[in-house]
A and B are shown apart, each in its own frame.
Chain A
Amino acid sequence: MKKEKTYQERTVYLVGNPNTGKTSLFNQLTGLNQRVGNFPGITVEKKTGSFISPTGKKINIIDLPGVYSLDSQSADEKLAADYIKKSKDEIILIVTDATNLKRNLVLATQIMDLKKTIVIAVNMMDLLQKANMDIDFGKLSKLLGVPIIPVNARIGKGIDELKYALANHDISASKSFLGEHSKHPLMDENLLRYNKIDSIIKQTVHKKGENKLALQTLRFDKWITHKYFGFLIFLSIMFMIFQAIFSWSAYPMEWIETVFLQLSETIQTKLPQGTFTDLLSNGIIPGISGVAVFIPQIALLFFFITILEDSGYLARVSYIMDRLLRPFGLNGKSIIPMLSSTACAVPSIMGTRIISNKKERLITILVLPLISCSARIPVYTLLIAFAIPADMSLGPFNMQGVVLMSLYLISFISALLVAYVLKFLVKTNEKSRFVIEIPIYRIPRIKSVLLTMYQKVRIFMVDAGKIILAISIVLWALSSYGPADKMQKIEEKYRSDAVKQQFSEKEIAQLIQTEKLENSYAGILGKTIEPMIKPLGYDWKIGIALISSFAAREVFVGTMSTLYSIGDENEVKLIEKLREAKNPVTGKPVYTFAVAISLLLFYVFALQCMATLAIVKKETGSWKWPIVQVLYMGALAYGSAYLAYHLLS
């Protein structure tokens, strides 16, 4: 049985240096037939996919993290090295950059010395001409003793040949590259390896002239990473991205909102009245729509970050920011997780694994959740649209966009300041280093950008969607039911003749609903914490939203939608409901400008995300650091919201 399986199925480990187009090759080999998960026990993203060969064999491909060498120290690289060392029946597919073979062969020959089954794909064949180089593949394959397949993963050239090799290459150990000499101390082995690689390169790679790729990169970097203009260009790019996110997403957001409102209405009119209909139209649909509305913005954010990464610009941002971040106890490499934290803190916290210095990595992890993530976008959008008129502008810029940009700036500046404080509290005697490859500039492929964007949005929506669905059901139940005796008393109160004379039937129904919500379990919960949040200008309904968004911030909008649709027959947009909301005692509006700003600041600072807490615990190995985070961010949130409310009202 087992033998049959090994005949029909094969596993391939995809390995290679960073910047060799490993991801594009993975996409080409597997198409959309891939899954993203985690490696068991740790949180490094694990991509697996498969294809079926013409002879019916199923080839599974596991994408391992990019590594420069097998002796690397960082956690990501150790994982890849472990997988390679333990492999037996698996094929190691090593991806290399055609224009950079000499360096890429360091890793490849290290793996050869482990005597594994190896296939080498030489990628980026399209760049060879620009680099003015020729490679004698036949000779290279002969000298190394492993199959070598030239490919161009960007357009899919050579993929069929590669698939054929993966399906048909015999599982057998490659010959050792260094042979007898491999038991030398580290430096000697390196020298030996270098000399051997150098002689192979000299026999197989022919330079025909000046490398135009290098020249082109030099020309671009004269300006893009310029001493003075470098920062300016970086800030302008960021500013344009945020403007685009806000303005391009406006229309699709309206469409989604309208569709969900109509759905809710249709369900209410077409389905028989009852608990289930109520749960659907007042619980689940408003909850889901509250988040679905923000798909356009989240997608755009991932879209731009992927473009920046694929073009080669992100590495340059690390380079220009290193000196600036160093006094704050951070590293130039911290800027990449910080920027991707504008999408989501969870993958960014995993991404800090590229920082090898433990202190710098810990500080980066501790301040990352301060950076405004896409889960805050729903909250920001709602409150900004509420507080700032849409037609207001600052010079040529839309004021709403400027406010959004300022919130992101506040979050970055506070992250730096907190990092500065932490620098004195976290101790280490490890040396701080910054060594990074600066890849050549490349025009991102729209297909692969869209694929990455689709995958990230899907993960985000599935993960967030599960939490939101659960919470909106719980919330609906909590706000629809309460202690039985109290609920009964309310019914009786309004059934008296005195009340019936005073109000119309409809008004009574409305009053009953309102009072029922106030006395429901959710109402009781909200009222319990009301004294604590009153100094910030919040009422008990906001209190419920705050409690529910401790699981995840974006739940805030869903909760508000659910709370305000309970006992309301007319389906109007949430923002209009907020404008109409009045304090039952004073009769004044609940949501003033001061309250909106106070809430905005609360959401800028507070750590309301279970997923972040879980990942920080996993990455730092103890509950100490997530608790520290919750406390310091909570204090910042409460303090700033308190100040804003009192200064503005």
Chain B
Amino acid sequence: MHRILANAWADMAAGYARRRVWITLATEDIGDQHRRTTLGPLWLLINYFAFAATFIFVFAPAPSAQFAIYVATGLLVWNYMNDSISQAVTLFEREQSFIRGTNLPLSAYVMRVTLQNVIRGLYAVFGCAVILVFAQVNITPAWLWAGLGLVIILVCSPAVVALFGFLGVFFPDSQFIVTNLMRVAMFATPLFWTHEGEGGLRGALYYWNPFTYFLDMVRQPIVDGTVHWSSFAFSIVFTLVVWALAVLMLGAYRKKVALIV
């Protein structure tokens, strides 16, 4: 166990020491993905608006400013979590040229994709802010809790990326399974539907879905100025567990990935 923890620590320390590499790669990735387009990364903002508008105008029980705020904040968090998981599962396969040709630590690849997702998320933050202004949202001190919720999500995401990265290496079918599950999860998560305490399938999807609690940490304080402490408690415990698993996987398998990808 000591050796596994020392390995994981060595990998993460090397990842921090080489931070200029993954910062440079991540910022270039965003530019490269839109290199031939006229609007460039603005497409990220347009994508966000397209999704938000669809949910707000098509799925709203009755169009309201409150529902627009609910969808805009939920979609911001969902897009980040969805990008993190979907991209992670093929991460080490995509990076095989660097993994087999350089001695960069695995944490550098994890941070590269995490930072990419943060940059994408910042475009969505701008889009979300625009919708909140149009919906005439009230800014309350509870927003600080939403900010804390975002920090918890950011802290959790590198560990999630690492875990799904290992899953993709050792179980190649997982990339298709995860892609399909995430499509289903978008509908199974209270993103454009609300839960009013009813039971049945909707109630089960609400309570047994970990995404619910991460969304709720950020969304609830902005929507009506209240805080659900249970969402914070769940998300913090979930984050600690995921980090513990990620550290164990990194320590045990970091040098095995180059022999497999």
Q: Do A and B come from one complex?
A: no
Q: Which residues of B are in contact with A by a Cβ distance under 8 Å?
A: none
Q: A residues engaging B (CB < 8 A)?
A: none
